[in-house]
Structure formats: structure tokens, C-alpha cells
Amino acid sequence: MEGAHQIGGYMMTDHAILTFPFPPTTNNLFVNRAVGGRFRSKGYKAWITEADLVLAHQYPLPKFTGTVALRLSLGPPDKRKRDLSNFVKAIEDRLVAHNVIRDDSDVWHLEVFWDWTIQGVQAEITYMAAIA
């Protein structure tokens, strides 16, 4: 991470690239139940566990405290047709859960595309001021 410095266990930087396992589609993140409302699906819980392990190997994680551009390269596990935009939410939620970004609303620019040369997801995060 160029121009990075560490503060309180986080890397402060203008740009970072993190990797994730391929996420479940937004349509399969939650299950609705008649009693008790909405819950994370078993598949989503399993993915969160795997994603958190993958992120743990990338410590110290960067921390962005302002608006960012997020560029997601997704390497699908097979050739099935998929709706590209349905894979953003799970990644953004893990970035927030790990304090990499403060909130989903801090993503002011989003680019998402298929990349058959990678496995999983590559998330490139850049401060908006750094690309202005």
C-alpha cells in the first residue's frame, strides 16, 4: 500500500486492494421467517466466516474515513449466467464490518465487472480525493 502509515492497528492509505471469496447473490443473503423476521441464510453465514478468515490474512487492514471509489473484479466460479450487481452488497457489508470503510454510503463511485482471470473477488478501494 503506497503512502501508507499505521494508526491503532489500521493502515491509513489512499489506495488498497483486498481479496474475498466469491460471495452469495444478494437474493440469497437473508431468509424471511413468519416469526422473528429476517435472518442471515446458512450460506451467507458460511461465506461471512470464510471471508473473515481471508481478510484476517490481509492484516493490518486499511481504514478509509471518507468517501471512496470501489472497484470490484469478480471471478465467477463457473460459467452460469449471473446478475453482476447482485454481488456488491455482501462485499460492502464485510468492508464496513471490518472498519475498512465507515458505511456503504461512503462509496460514491462503484465499478463492478467480471474477470475470468481471477478466483473470488478483488476489491480496490481508493479515496475519492486521491482520484479527483
What is the C-alpha separation between 64 and 7, in angstroms, rounded? Answer: 12
Residue 130's pLDDT is what?
57
Question: CA dihedral defined by 94, 90, 46, 40, rounded to 10 degrees?
Answer: 110
**Cis omega (within 30 of 0) on the bond before 60?**
yes
Q: 30 - beta bridge partners? A: 40
pTM, rounded to two decimals: 0.85
Structural domains in the chain?
5-131 (3.30.1330.70)
> What are the pLDDT digits (tens) for 63-102?
999 999 999 999 999 989 999 999 999 999 999 999 999 9
Q: Helices (DSSP H) in the chain: which residue ranges?
A: 42-56, 88-97, 128-131
Q: What's the chain's Rg over C-alpha atoms?
A: 15
Q: Give the pLDDT score at 37.
A: 81
Looking at residues 31-49, what average pLDDT do you find? 88
For 6-26, how does the pLDDT look when each residue is reduced to its tens digit (9 = 90+)? Answer: 544 445 568 999 999 999 988
